[in-house]
Structure 1
Amino acid sequence: VHHCRPSAIFSFLSKLSFFHTFNYPHSLIFSFTMKYTGFAASATALMAGVASAAVTGVTGKPEGFASGTTGGGDTAAVYPSTTDELVSYLGDSSPRVIVLTKTFDFTGTEGTTTSAGCSPWGTGAACQQAINKDDWCTNYQPDAPTVSSITYDAAGTLGITVASDKSIVGDGSKGVIKGKGLRVVNGASNIQISDINPHYVWGGDAITLDGTDNVWIDHVTTSNIARQHIVLGTDACGNVTISNSYIDGSGDYSATCDGHQYWSIYMDGSEDRVTLKNNYIYQTSGRAPKVQTNTLLHAVNNYWNDNSGHAFEIGEGGYVLAEGNVFENVEAPLEASSFKGELFTADSGSACSSALGRSCEANSLSGSGTFSESNTDFLSKFSGASIATAVPASEIKSYVTSNAGIGKLAQ
């Protein structure tokens, strides 16, 4: 499937909330779309070092490749009062701790757009549809049934740009961004995103990184997303840690027409280093994650549950060390037909010692396909890097289900 660089729409609720409701029937936009009649979402995006007693700050520090990320640090907090002011704070060149105390509603500000589309994955009630954006249907799915008209809110097709050294902080349940997303792109660095719930994203990816460095995504919940829950685009995303997050792939519509989200996590950068730790990846069917181009991924102590297709899709240039993970009822932990990269599944604990400075932890599988690859040649790529710790897989299921996702920072 061809991957175009996405425009995200976020709807978040809780401490920092993004809430969006649409009444447009049947389809979501971008290259791939979901069919829903409306949606709401919520999230708290928060960074560390916030000097405000009214705001709960990020607990702990990032492990792995994004260690040292500080966001806006201890700069004095600012409190935007209008959508224009919020956009200005997020995109300016100053370090910022941005506290949201109200709803910032972008819906309807750019009108609606109507476009044709297609149904490449089937015409059943549970199947996603696709917008013919950039002639995607025409060029890549010429034989798919056509959809004559899909109407969507235009404001959500391009998210708000987030510049370097930013912290976004929701004040209790008051901080709401409605109908817009966040894009961390074009050299932006030192950004922390924590305790948020991108939810019912209309026509794009939930979290987009492209050409970034030092980004920590922590205690995030993503659900009802049209495309990728998290995507790293083709430009390098140097040091990224995704931790303690809940990728919820359940929903009424999917590309596999079975309520299991296919577009989960996509890592496609030219020089990406990613730590994926303590995450709960639930009810997916593919790209969970997809890793390729030149991406070094350390997947450690994650829990995959109820995957009707495949978890890892590793293309050429994808280098994956997977250790201490739990796969439960995952049809194919690794998609064998597309496997062109390098993978070590850490069956031998001692093989990691020279690269990581410690032994690896074995993975655990139940009700799942095979997951056993022994290529260790690439482990030297971890040399000198900040490496996340690991615990035995037997400790992961209970820990992750209790701690991953929004609202669990204190756990």
Structure 2
Amino acid sequence: MRSLLWLALLCVPCFAAISLTEVATLPESPNYGGGDNVGSLLISETYNAGKGPGIWIVADGGYRLYVNGELLKEDVQAGRVSFVPYTFLPGENAVSVVGVNRSGAPGVLVQIDELEKSYYSGAGWVSKPAVGNNAWKAKGRDLSQWGGATILDYSNQKMPSGGDLSGFAEDTKAKWIWTGSESDSLAVLLYTFYVKAEGFGAATTGGSGGEVVLATDSASVRKALQSNGPKTILIPEGTYDFRIFKNAVTDAKNRKWTWCKGQCGANDKNSGNTFYRISFTENSCSGLSEDVTPVSESENLQSWNNWITTSADKSLIGMGRGANLRGAAINPRSYENGHNNIYRNLAFYDVNPHLVEAGDGLSVDGSDENFVQKFWADHISYKWISDGFDIGNVKGATVSYLDYDGTSEFNCWGYDPYMALVQDAELTYANVYWHGTYGRVPKVGGNSHVHIFNNYTSYNYWTGAAVSGDNSGSYSQILYENSYLDQMNFHIVDVGSYGYMNFTGNQVKNSKGCYYVNGVCSSNPPQNSVFTPSYSYAKRTVSAIPSELPVYAGVGGKWGKMPEYNQAFEISPKAASVSVEAQIANNAVTLKATVTSSSGAAIQRVDFYVGTELVGSAHSAPYSFNVSDLVPGVYSAIAVATDKNGLSGVSSYVVFQVSGESEKKVAKLIKNGAGSSNQNLILGDSLVPFSYVWENAETVTATGFPMGVNVFIDSLDSRISISGTPTEFGEFVYTITTVGADSNASVVRTIRVAESETAITHQQTVLPKASSYRVFDLQGRLLYRGAFQPRIYNQRVLVVEFDKEGNALRKYLMPCSKSMPK
């Protein structure tokens, strides 16, 4: 089975005996998920443990893990930590765990990581030791007959049974949980959380209840957004090019508009740029205050936004750490029935940043007669956008965790001139991060109710939030509270005719601007009587907002970032798919992995785990590893394949049983080389070299060779080599014996060295017999002195022979004896 999951294990290679640990048996009954297949379209596969949203889980036993009825992961190994990289959808998320305990203390530990917050096993979970059906898996389940899960009194740094716990989420607040009795061998544990808007947009459901589809390019996104019926559209994590290039002047002429140009001012930040702005009149720039002239069609001024309208009941969701949409301009409108839309975990960028008023990345447009009903934009990153994020004629809207970066190198000022124009709207801005903005953060008009809380504005060049109305029967109100404003360069806020603002509970720092109310600068913030929200909402600690919102706002939440302007277009690579099998032989197992690279990335290694222990690795195909000396019992194993991108794919587990005795290791000695193992020589002749190769043993010992014979043992090559020239005569019976096998092997052979008259004469007259010997290592340190000639085997040494008067007779290099005579 293809693995979609990352296993979070931190065990170092363990080459000692493998511990026999708890391997559970999952229930076969459908009431507990028996027969369910692992897999979900929402599993992301594009990042490792803790690098994006998902679920951490470990059990002191086995488990099955579900979200909204889909089986995401199952395991039978106690203590093996897993992380499922998962995209949580708006609405209800019903998390379910079937926990199984075979022996010892039970327990399940869970951490759920969403884009801006985490949920933990503990309070709020419910449990039962037995169920009569499997309705507990689905959304909308009835929990009225379920009791609260019991929080076990065990440290979340250890296993309940006492073993070590490695690889779970750092600094987790999760608690071990179970049923009310630790003697229960089975527990069904449930938790429900909701991904939903705070504020006026809380009722927005998007495509909930409809089909869930993948869209991997702008054409498929357009088709899905404009289709009929509720639909959740998933865009895989990555960066996409939505741009459609066209001659901006030709396009404007078709609408009876005019593009105008001028030179940026000498004092502007980007003074060398050309200033382009649209005039909504035909063949004329006279309506603009700037010193500009029309742009001719032949200048081929380019625009590239891809304008997409939508139909009702749609959710457009970036998977994993988010989807970056370059040039996308998505516009729910009442004209196309664009009600009840959700946009989440997306980056909108590069919508004609060199032009003024040439399109939004995301905007909402109702009409006076037909307001757009229900809209939610969440975890949106926004940069290099011509005309901001405008919302008009809408009821029931929320913008949350927006990261709006207004800085731009493409216009005159270094900031996009327009951020957010709000007209006739019922709108909440919750947890929004505005930075490097020019103004309109936001600008509210018509008959609007706008609630701003937990916002962070970091440097605004001109006017911050502004509010005005049409007349006494059509006025706008802003409740601006619990927010942090830093470096407000001009007007902190602007309250105009028929506009009302209650600016309360905020902190304003490092700002030289004033509160501009009805044309008068004041040091006192406006605190008009405005609407009271009908909903509940969570206020942050204001002083912490500058450190929190830059982390959690925008695409990917705490794991995301604003795309680079020319970031490469690609769907994020996926981890390799892995399967593993176990081949048993007595008390040994050979683990074999089959690995397929999902994105073409080379596989760097495959790690093999038995239980929670890393037993070995393979760095090239075929990927396998042998584990021996296993005690009888039941084991589970997995394989983890890591590619050159650093992504790790994890196999499903395999269970195997070791029941036989150890296979006997019977050693062998195999003769090699030209020389015979039995040789007859005359003193002064050299041996014909020969060797023995050993199998199924650790090494060999060798004894009984005559002096002058070199014996070299090469453990890496499993070979003992014999050569040299004997310096003594006689019959020498030598023995070579293997070491480390259950049944060792030996060979006993003979080397005969005969004494000849020539040799004796030569020894007496030319080479007198030595009376004493000294042996030195190659650094000149004395190793031995005595009257007996030492036997030499391994390390190279210098031997010096002396006569009775102490004169040196001979010097020569030979291997050193394992034990010098005393």
Q: So what's the TM-score if we normalise by structure 1? A: 0.72
Find the counterpart in structure 2 of residue 239 from structure 1: 396
Q: Which runs of 5+ in 1 are unaligned?
A: 1-14, 16-47, 347-360
Find the counterpart in structure 2 of residue 363 from structure 1: 507
Query: What SS is found at the alignment partner of 1:217?
Result: strand
Which of the two has greater strand per residue? 2
Q: Is the 8 A contact 2:453 2:482 kept in 1?
A: yes
Task: Please list, as runs of the form range in 1=range in 2, the aligned pairs for 1:279-294 lying within 5 A after superposition.
Answer: 279-294=432-447
Moved more, 176-185 or 86-95: 176-185
Q: Deviations over 1:368-391 (max 9, x none)?
A: 4234444433225x3xx2243323
1: CA distance between counterparts of 2:550 and 2:263?
A: 31
1: CA distance between counterparts of 2:304 and 2:70?
A: 32
Task: Please list, as runs of the form range in 1=range in 2, the aligned pairs for 1:285-304 lying within 5 A after superposition.
Answer: 285-304=438-457
Find the counterpart in structure 1 of residue 342 from structure 2: 192
Moved more, 298-307 or 176-185: 176-185
2: CA distance between counterparts of 1:410 and 1:125?
A: 36
- What is the CA distance between 1:49 and its match in structure 2? 8.2
2: CA distance between counterparts of 1:278 and 1:249?
A: 17
Residues 185 and 50 of structure 1: is their aligned pair in 2 closer, same or farther, counting only changes over 3 Å?
farther
Find the counterpart in structure 2 of residue 151 from structure 1: 300
In structure 2, which of residues 465, 469, 487 is the aligned counterpart of residue 329 of structure 1? 487
Find the counterpart in structure 2 of residue 118 from structure 1: 260
Residues 248 and 284 of structure 1: is their aligned pair in 2 closer, same or farther, counting only changes over 3 Å?
same
1: CA distance between counterparts of 2:494 and 2:319?
A: 46
Residues 208 and 297 of structure 1: is their aligned pair in 2 closer, same or farther, counting only changes over 3 Å?
same
Asked if 1:88 corresponds to 2:223, the answer is yes
1: CA distance between counterparts of 2:69 and 2:416?
A: 35
Q: Is the 8 A contact 1:120 1:141 kept in 2?
A: no
In structure 1, which of residues 376, 383, 387 is the aligned counterpart of residue 528 of structure 2? 376
In structure 1, which of residues 250, 257, 260 is the aligned counterpart of residue 415 of structure 2? 260
1: CA distance between counterparts of 2:341 and 2:206?
A: 4
- What is the CA distance between 1:181 and its match in structure 2? 2.1
Task: Please list, as runs of the form range in 1=range in 2, the aligned pairs for 1:380-399 lying within 5 A after superposition.
Answer: 380=532, 382=533, 385-399=534-548
Task: Please list, as runs of the form range in 1=range in 2, the aligned pairs for 1:12-411 lying within 5 A after superposition.
Answer: 56-58=87-89, 59=114, 60-80=195-215, 84-101=219-236, 107-108=243-244, 111-115=246-250, 117-119=259-261, 122-123=264-265, 124-126=271-273, 128-135=275-282, 138=285, 140-141=287-288, 144-149=291-296, 151-152=300-301, 156=305, 159-171=307-319, 179-186=327-334, 187-202=337-352, 203-211=358-366, 212-228=372-388, 230-233=389-392, 236-254=393-411, 257-269=412-424, 272-316=425-469, 317-334=475-492, 336=494, 338=496, 340-346=498-504, 361-371=505-515, 372-380=524-532, 382=533, 385-408=534-557
Residues 51 and 111 of structure 1: is their aligned pair in 2 closer, same or farther, counting only changes over 3 Å?
farther
2: CA distance between counterparts of 1:103 and 1:401?
A: 21
Moved more, 163-172 or 317-326: 163-172
Q: Deviations over 1:334-358 (max 9, x none)?
A: 4548565111112xxxxxxxxxxxx
Name the amino acid aligned to 1:378.
V
2: CA distance between counterparts of 1:174 and 1:292?
A: 32
Residues 297 and 179 of structure 1: is their aligned pair in 2 closer, same or farther, counting only changes over 3 Å?
closer
Query: What SS is found at the alignment partner of 2:463?
Result: strand
2: CA distance between counterparts of 1:174 and 1:220?
A: 9
- What is the CA distance between 1:144 and its match in structure 2? 2.5
Find the counterpart in structure 2 of residue 44 from structure 1: none
Residues 49 and 205 of structure 1: is their aligned pair in 2 closer, same or farther, counting only changes over 3 Å?
farther
Q: Is the 8 A contact 1:100 1:176 kept in 2?
A: no
Q: Which runs of 5+ in 2 are unaligned?
A: 1-43, 45-66, 73-84, 90-113, 115-194, 251-257, 266-270, 353-357, 367-371, 470-474, 516-523, 561-822
- Larger relative CO (CA 8 A, sep 6+): 1 or 2? 1
Percent identity for Structure 1 against Structure 2: 21
Find the counterpart in structure 2 of residue 25 from structure 1: none
Q: Is the 8 A contact 2:243 2:327 kept in 1?
A: yes
1: CA distance between counterparts of 2:71 and 2:558?
A: 17
- What is the CA distance between 1:135 and its match in structure 2? 3.8
Name the amino acid aligned to 2:551.
S
Q: Is the 8 A contact 1:268 1:293 kept in 2?
A: yes
Find the counterpart in structure 2 of residue 355 from structure 1: none
| Matched residue count | 339
Q: So what's the TM-score if we normalise by structure 2? A: 0.38
Moved more, 81-90 or 327-336: 81-90
CA RMSD of aligned residues (A): 3.4
Q: Is the 8 A contact 1:50 1:75 kept in 2?
A: no
2: CA distance between counterparts of 1:52 and 1:154?
A: 46
- What is the CA distance between 1:107 and its match in structure 2? 4.4
Larger Rg belongs to: 2
Name the amino acid aligned to 1:376.
N
Name the amino acid aligned to 2:385.
I
Q: Deviations over 1:305-330 (max 9, x none)?
A: 11121111222233111111111111
Q: Deviations over 1:196-227 (max 9, x none)?
A: 11111123112110122211111111001111
Name the amino acid aligned to 1:305.
S
Query: What SS is found at the alignment partner of 1:268?
Result: strand
Residues 232 and 151 of structure 1: is their aligned pair in 2 closer, same or farther, counting only changes over 3 Å?
farther
Name the amino acid aligned to 1:301.
N
2: CA distance between counterparts of 1:302 and 1:103?
A: 28
Q: Is the 8 A contact 1:55 1:170 kept in 2?
A: no
Name the amino acid aligned to 1:64.
G
Q: Is the 8 A contact 2:283 2:294 kept in 1?
A: no
